[in-house]
Amino acid sequence: MSRGWRLGVFLAGAAGLVFLFVVVARPLPGPLELRNRYAEEINTRAFRERNVTDAVTAVNFDYRGFDTIGEEFILFVSVLGSMFLLRMTEERGDEILPDAAEDSRDVRSTDAMNLWILAMIAPKVVFGIYIVTHGQLTPGGGFQGGVILATAALMLYVGEGFAVFRRVVPHGAVEFAEAVGAGGFLLIGMLAWFWGKPFLTNIIPLGQSHQLTSGGTMPLISVSTGLEVTAGFVLLLYGFLQENLTPRGEK
Amino acid sequence: MSAQIVTYAGFIVAGWLFLTGLYGIITSRHLVHLCLSMTVVQASTYVLLAVIGYRPGLPAPIFVNMPAGSPAVDPVIQALMLTDIVVEATVIALLLAITVRIHRRTSTADPNEVDIMRG
Amino acid sequence: MAPLPVVIPLMVAAVLAAVGHSFHRRVLDSIALATSAGVTAVCGLLAVESTHHVIVYWFGNWQPSAHAHFPVGICFMIDPIGAGLAALTSFLVLAAFTFSWSYFESVKAIYHILMLVFLGAMCGLCLSGDLFNLFVWFELMTAAGVALCGYKSEEGQSLQGALNFAVLNTAGALLSLGGVALVYAYTGSLNMCEVGQTLARHHSSTGFLCVSFLFIISGFLVKAAVFPFHFWLADAHAVAPTPVCVLFSGVMVELGVYAVARIYWVVFSGAAAPSTSAIRTVFLIVGALTTIVGALYCFGQRHLKRLLAFSTISHVGVMVLGLAILQPEGLAGSAIYLIGHGLVKASLFIGAGILLHRFGSVDEFDLLGRCREVLPIGLLMALGAAGLAGLPPFATFLGEKTIEEAARHVHQPWIVAIIVFAEILTSGAVLRFTMRVFGGWGKARELTLHGAPHIDTKPETTGQHSHVPLFMWGPMLVLLLAACLVALPWAARSGIRQEIQRFETPGIYMDAVLLGKTAAAPAAKPAVAMLGFSWEQVIVLIGMIGLALGALASGSAKYRFGSSVARLLLRAQAALRRLQSGRVGDYVAWFTIGIAVYGALLVFLR
């Protein structure tokens, strides 16, 4: 279709969609007692049943934990697929990059920025671990903390360049960590089978509320997820940074 | 009353983002722009979910300083949003990997130039 | 046992990702084969066990409490239809892994990991009883599918296929998520049975129901490649490696139809009862358009995989037509047709893979006459064409007959004509390909293939290309046999009919899921009409052979109807081809207007 036709078709469709949006939105918001049911159940039960103060994490890792497994594996498969599409493993053989440090397009930062970045990495890592482990108490959890930790690795690259980045976070170790994170969540779910309970039941002692150990399996799942998310995003960094550093013409 | 206004405003924003993102995909001339337009479409679902979970005047569902069971915003919607954000971010990663690969292979990043399979 | 079809493949994939990169290829293949065989067995057991009562499995042990009956967790809602579909899925994965044994180029363990995750996601989709959980497995299928589709990414075309797949499916998934969110905004639940019950009890506005239904199924309609969301399928199939195509056409597309049926019957059939005729009309239009468009494009392809992709679109249209009748007979026909088509199509794709391995191409004119050495494969492919035509003894024949009878019962006999038309075209196309490639007939170019895209396909296998190993033609034969045998026993057909009866009774599921009542009395055995001989099959047989021979001969014969007719046909064909432009912007524009038109129809007809 020519651009004109394509735009015309889309605009007609968009007008229709607007009409549909109006039709579907008219009875909303519905009666409060109806649409608040799930929220009320969780809000009243999360503390009582699992000793956790963060209801969102309780939903994510316990009540609807099975969704989170699917989500984790979407991350797993997308990272694997992206790395594979960027042909990190095949074309470059076992070495990830031969001499990235000498590449003229590697990032060079000033000394002042270097110092500041290095100083920031440690607090970032600590903060990331804090977020991961405190998911069941305050807003946080494996996903959020994992992204923070991954950005710490990114800062390492920005400050020190790809050669150092490669040495501190070796590719093979990160791949392994990602798989362990993904499999770990499944293993925690399978633990429940030994007690005769359905998959993903929270069978570890729930600990005291407001403590790090509250929530039973939730902190463990949080750590496993954090590991996977961190490793996943670092792998993505690997893949895309390497694209940037390869001189043109080299396939 | 204010709850209704917020809800309708949220629906309008979500609908607008959805259509704008689709418009961006359709008129896109660069694959990275296409991926970012997809991000806009994804953002419409975030806004929709956020506005559905809104309860006027209530705090977040974190019961550290509040007694458990006191009224709070919908935690299930927030969990859904979390899942949605992670899923969509990784899909964008896949799309961007495809973009990089296409650019490497064909030296063009225009989605309209890639019409090798036609008919 | 219920979570195993999902947990096992995912766990094995994670283990392979951690330690499997150094494994020998045979070890990886064996692990993959064992996993898919195991999942097939588990799904089969689940299907058998759930014939007595719906199996409900609550993850995290979050059963609804005895007094409130409100589901706070995620459940698997397993009945023989879902478990049977999961069994079919894992069986096809088994066939795909057998085909790819040892020769298929795999980079370390990536292929196996991606395929196993794909399997887990599809099983999750079949068994899930929660709307958001359905969305999650749908996205996992899309992600794994895109990665598998772009597998041979040395070629630029494979990236076009992967890009179109990713963009269109994601757009559909986002609209689905919007629909789920809107339904949650009204009912406050994500469990399918709870939502269905709430919607039915609270008499929500029919406009809201129709539009939210359409939004929720939009992602699954895109996955099912119905018109006008079908454009991406041909691009994806043309570039995906053979084992992946087997799965795409064999089950992935059909799962979209299954999800639509499941969502309609459990969630919306009770509440949207006043709009049933509107929904039937729209689905009939969707099915008819899909069937016709798929068949028309199918005949004009010279690349076998693309040809088969368009035929899949057409057959999915037939399944949607069966669904659209909204009666147990129609849906039972669709189910039987689905099984038969999945097996036959998988077999044909394996045949394409064999040709690719042996001769390095699947293009009709590149292969012209060269394939005489592997004539047995050609015979199998001709049998596959008969399977696509719905001829006895294939399961597609039984499914089609059931759909046709259901169509006559609701006084829509034109459905039969459309199905016959589509079957003639699709099977005629495959037969024409077979005759040209294996028999060497039809050397001259013909009208219908004027302008057909010629797609370079690189071989995807290593090893000796001079012979066809057993693990390649074995699955092809077994799949064809299975397509003949699976629906032959009367017990199988009546069992499917009975299960569909239960499938369409949401009350049984609600009792099982929300109240924990598992001792539902089985529905009374419905009368299974005797499937006798009918003249449609003769028409299809004659039409298919005649069309194939006619196409082969038309290249050399003078056009007796005058060149003006030929020019008109050429112009029409060129216009059709232009629509399938390969550009993702066009596809998304079609998606937008498709949803708008279907939605407007639903709203105005309700």
pLDDT at A106 over 60: no
Q: Exposure of A8 by Cβ count < 10 A (0-12 exposed, 13-18 middle, 19+ buried)? A: middle
Q: B96 to each of A81, A182, C110, C216, how far by Cα in Å? A: 11, 23, 19, 27
More confidently predicted of C482 and C466: C482
Question: Of the ranges A238-242, C22-26, C442-446, which one carries the lowest mean pLDDT score?
Answer: C442-446
Which ranges of C360-412 would DSSP assign to H, the alpha helix? 375-388, 395-409
Query: In this complex, which of C166, C184, C453 lies closest to B94 when CB atoms are compared?
Result: C166
Burial C342-370 (b: 16+ CB within 10 A, else e): bbbbbbbbbbbbbbbbbbbbbbbebbbeb
Beta-bridged to residue C55, according to DSSP, are C78
Q: If you measure CA to CA, which chain C residue comes closest to A44?
A: C72
Residue B89 confidence (pLDDT): 93
Distance CA A231, CA C5 (A): 27
Distance CA C581, CA C508 (A): 46
- Longest CA–CA span in chain C (Å) reads 79
pLDDT at C239 over 90: no
Task: Name the one residue in this structure whose structure tokens are 């609550």.
Answer: C58
Q: Return the residue in C4, C131, C132, C136 with the most chain A beta carbons within 10 A, the one to mutate for interface testing.
A: C136
Q: If you measure CA to CA, which chain C residue comes closest to A74?
A: C140
Beta-bridged to residue C77, according to DSSP, are C56
Q: Chain A partners of C586 at a C-beta cutoff of 8 Å? A: 1, 6
Residue C515 confidence (pLDDT): 84
More confidently predicted of C10 and C549: C10
Q: Return the residue in C12, C211, C215, C591 with the most chain A beta carbons within 10 A, the one to mutate for interface testing.
A: C211
Q: Chain C partners of A28 at a C-beta cutoff of 8 Å? A: 182, 185-186, 208
Terminal C-alpha separation, chain A? 34
Distance CA A199, CA C73 (A): 12
**Confidence label for C521 from pLDDT (cuts 50, 70 and 90):** low
Distance CA C163, CA C247 (A): 19
Q: If you measure CA to CA, which chain A residue comes closest to C586?
A: A6
Q: Return the residue in A35, A41, A73, A202 with the most chain C beta carbons within 10 A, the one to mutate for interface testing.
A: A73
Q: If you measure CA to CA, which chain B residue comes closest to A76?
A: B90
Q: What is the pLDDT of residues B65-98, one digit of tens each?
A: 888 778 888 999 999 999 999 999 999 999 999 9
Q: What is the pLDDT of residues C99-109, one digit of tens each?
A: 988 777 777 78
Residue C557 confidence (pLDDT): 57
Residue B87 at interface with chain C, using a CB cutoff of 8 Å: yes
**Cβ–Cβ of C593/A9 closer than 8 Å?**
yes
Q: C163 to each of A88, B111, C146, how far by Cα in Å? A: 19, 9, 8
Mean pLDDT of A190-208: 85
Residue A91 confidence (pLDDT): 46
Q: Side chain identity at A20, as an amino acid letter?
A: L
pLDDT at A249 over 70: no
Q: Which pTM was predicted?
A: 0.94
Residue A247 at interface with chain C, using a CB cutoff of 8 Å: no
Distance CA C170, CA B41 (A): 10
Q: In terms of Cα–Cα distance, which of C595, C596, C601 is closest to C172?
A: C595
**Cβ–Cβ of B64/A210 closer than 8 Å?**
yes
**C233 CA to chain B: closest CA distance, Å?**
12
**B87 CA to chain A: closest CA distance, Å?**
6
Residue C524 confidence (pLDDT): 59
Distance CA A141, CA A68 (A): 12
Residue C155 confidence (pLDDT): 65
Residues 6+ apart with CB under 8 A from A143: A225, A226, A229, B82, B86
Q: What is the pLDDT of residues C331-348, one digit of tens each?
A: 989 999 999 999 999 999
Distance CA C328, CA C334 (A): 10
**Cβ–Cβ of A199/C3 closer than 8 Å?**
yes
DSSP string, C288-299: HHHHHHHHHHHH
Residue B95 at interface with chain C, using a CB cutoff of 8 Å: yes
Q: Chain C partners of A15 at a C-beta cutoff of 8 Å? A: 596
pLDDT at A101 over 60: no
Mean pLDDT of C100-129: 90
Q: At what angle do helices A142-160 and A111-133 cross, to 10 degrees?
A: 170
Residue C143 confidence (pLDDT): 95
Distance CA A238, CA A83 (A): 8
Beta-bridged to residue C461, according to DSSP, are C104
Task: Name the one residue in this structure whose structure tokens are 């292969």.
Answer: C367
Q: What are phi and psi of B114, to 5 degrees?
A: -90, 80
Distance CA C224, CA C259 (A): 9
Q: What subunits touch chain C, counting only 3 or more CB pairs under 8 A? A: A, B
- Longest CA–CA span in chain B (Å) reads 64
Query: In this complex, which of A35, A41, A87 lies closest to C185 when CB atoms are compared?
Result: A35
Q: What is the ipTM of this complex?
A: 0.95
**Cβ–Cβ of A14/B19 closer than 8 Å?**
yes
Residues 6+ apart with CB under 8 A from C587: C164, C167, C168, C231, C232
**Cβ–Cβ of B91/C190 closer than 8 Å?**
no
Residue B16 at interface with chain A, using a CB cutoff of 8 Å: no
What single-letter DSSP state applies at residue C273?
Answer: G
Distance CA B94, CA B111 (A): 16
Q: Return the residue in C1, C4, C7 with the most chain A beta carbons within 10 A, the one to mutate for interface testing.
A: C7
**Cβ–Cβ of C592/B22 closer than 8 Å?**
yes
Q: Chain B partners of A137 at a C-beta cutoff of 8 Å? A: 64
Beta-bridged to residue C357, according to DSSP, are none
**Cβ–Cβ of B34/C167 closer than 8 Å?**
yes
**Cβ–Cβ of B117/C582 closer than 8 Å?**
yes
Q: Chain A partners of C136 at a C-beta cutoff of 8 Å? A: 67, 70-71, 74
What single-letter DSSP state applies at residue B55?
Answer: -
Q: How much of chain A is in helix, strand and coil states, percent to nearest 5?
A: 70, 0, 30
Distance CA C346, CA C247 (A): 7
Which ranges of C440-562 would DSSP assign to H, the alpha helix? 470-485, 490-503, 506-510, 535-554
**Cβ–Cβ of C114/A16 closer than 8 Å?**
no
What single-letter DSSP state applies at residue C57?
Answer: E
Q: Chain B partners of A143 at a C-beta cutoff of 8 Å? A: 82, 86
> What SS3 string covers C62-115?
CCCCCCCCCCCCCEEEECHHHHHHHHHHHHHHHHHHHHCCCCECCCCCHHHHHH
**Cβ–Cβ of A38/C597 closer than 8 Å?**
no
Q: What subunits touch chain B, counting only 3 or more CB pairs under 8 A? A: A, C
Distance CA A176, CA A178 (A): 5
Residue A247 confidence (pLDDT): 53
**Cβ–Cβ of C184/B34 closer than 8 Å?**
no
Q: In terms of Cα–Cα distance, which of A50, A42, A210 is closest to B72?
A: A42
Which ranges of C79-205 would DSSP assign to H, the alpha helix? 80-99, 110-127, 131-149, 156-187, 192-201
Q: Chain A partners of C168 at a C-beta cutoff of 8 Å? A: none
Distance CA A159, CA A154 (A): 9
Q: In terms of Cα–Cα distance, which of C266, C232, C207 is closest to C509?
A: C266
Residue A84 confidence (pLDDT): 87
Residue C489 confidence (pLDDT): 78
**Cβ–Cβ of C182/A27 closer than 8 Å?**
no
Residue A19 at interface with chain C, using a CB cutoff of 8 Å: yes
Residues 6+ apart with CB under 8 A from C298: C307, C310, C311, C313, C314, C425, C426, C429
Residue A243 at interface with chain C, using a CB cutoff of 8 Å: no
Q: Return the residue in C4, C72, C128 with the most chain A beta carbons within 10 A, the one to mutate for interface testing.
A: C72
What single-letter DSSP state applies at residue C363?
Answer: B
Burial C390-428 (b: 16+ CB within 10 A, else e): bbeebbbbbbbbbbbbbbeebebeebbebbbbbbbbbbb
Residues 6+ apart with CB under 8 A from C379: none
**A173 CA to chain B: closest CA distance, Å?**
21
Are the C-beta atoms of A101 and A162 separated by less than 8 Å? Answer: yes
pLDDT at C527 over 90: no
Q: What are phi and psi of C128, to 5 degrees?
A: -75, 150
In the numeric block, which tokens belong to residue C460? 């995807």
Distance CA A46, CA B62 (A): 10
Residue B76 at interface with chain A, using a CB cutoff of 8 Å: yes
What mean pLDDT value characterizes chain C? 88
Distance CA C171, CA B41 (A): 8
What is the domain partition of chain C in residue ranges? 4-605
Q: Return the residue in B36, B95, B96, B118 with the most chain C beta carbons within 10 A, the one to mutate for interface testing.
A: B118
Q: Chain C partners of B55 at a C-beta cutoff of 8 Å? A: none
Dihedral angle of Cα A197, A199, A204, A209, to the nearest 10 degrees:
-110
Residue A62 at interface with chain C, using a CB cutoff of 8 Å: yes
Q: Chain B partners of C157 at a C-beta cutoff of 8 Å? A: 116-117
Residue C579 confidence (pLDDT): 87
Residue B57 confidence (pLDDT): 85
